[in-house]
Amino acid sequence: MDDVDIVFHEAAMVSVPESIEQPVDCHELNGSATVTVLDCARRQDARVVLASSAAVYGNPDTVPIREAEPADPRTPYGIEKHLGEQYAQFYTERYGLPTVPLRYFNVYGPRGLDGEYAGVIGTFIRQAQAGNPLTIEGDGEQTRDFVHVDDVVRANLLAATTDAIGRPFNVGTGRSISINELAETVRDVVGTDVGIKHVPERTDDIKESEADLSDARTLLGYEPTVSLEKGLESTLSAEGE
């Protein structure tokens, strides 16, 4: 980090199931490594913008979720993300290091459709393209706030210059959609009429999730600009580039 001014700390073990199976590895990768990043940045007096997650909330008491909602993470992944936030706050308060944790909601976009951790949008798109039914875990009434990567990048750049340091901000769209509605939207965007199949729900699945963006708007100047339909269309069109 010699002569570095700003660090964007995005690296992590991103799989929640993997964090449950390997909590020690998750702690080393998401917990200890984050402390190392903060401490190296402290020696250079480099601002740190770090990726946190809506997973810190667990099952929230109220939706939309404000940053003041008590943290109640239910998995090692969420626990370590919350730990990173607490360390960031400590480094700001004790050492004066500028830190800004960003609580990403459900991020999607180009180059994020494949692989083990592509998420439900990647899974739905690939199933639709292959002519297979879209598989929904549970009844599909669970809601999520899907935010395009372009908006996430915008939030990171704003966090790189804000005076509001040492505290977390939500990064989402402020609008949620049920997984059933998402499946229908994906079918429309892909242009297919494949069926929908429900499978058993995941253990500890969160029922509702939607970001309250009041603080992000007021203190960061963040405003999401990419609708879900436009985001899905751009994600698909980017494949041919």
In the chain, where the domains are located: 6-240
HSE-CB of 226 using CA atoms within 13 angstroms? 23
Sign (positive or negative) of CA dihedral 208, 59, 32, 219: positive
The pLDDT value recorded for residue 97 is 98
State residue 112's pLDDT score. Answer: 80
- Helix, strand or coil for residue 36? helix
Helix (H, G, I), strand (E, B) or coil at 206: coil
Q: How many helices (DSSP H) and strands (DSSP E) are in the chain? A: 9, 10
Enter the tokens of residue 106. Answer: 């459900």
Beta strand segments in the chain, E = 6-9, 47-53, 99-104, 106-108, 134-137, 143-144, 146-148, 169-171, 177-178, 196-199
SS3 107: strand
Residue 201 confidence (pLDDT):
87
| Count of other CB atoms within 10 angstroms of residue 24 | 8
How is residue 175 written in tokens?
């609008």
Q: How far apart are CA 70 and CA 108, in angstroms?
A: 26
Report helix, strand and coil shares of the chain as percent, to nearest 5. 45, 15, 40
Domain 6-240 has CATH 3.30.1330.80: no
Active-site choice (57, 77, 104, 108): 77
- In angstroms, rounded to a whole number, what is the distance separating the alpha carbons of residues 176 and 46? 35
For residue 77, indicate whether it is catalytic. yes
| Residue 72 DSSP symbol | -
Name the pTM for this structure.
0.94
pLDDT, averaged per 10 consecutive residues of the chain (241 residues), comes to 96 93 97 98 97 95 95 96 98 98 95 78 93 95 96 98 97 97 95 94 85 98 96 86 58
Contacts of residue 207, defined as CB under 8 A and 6 or more positions apart, other chains included, come to 59, 141, 142, 143
Residue-level pLDDT at 117: 66
pLDDT score at 241:
58
* Closest among 173, 174, 191, 184 to 233, alpha carbons compared: 191
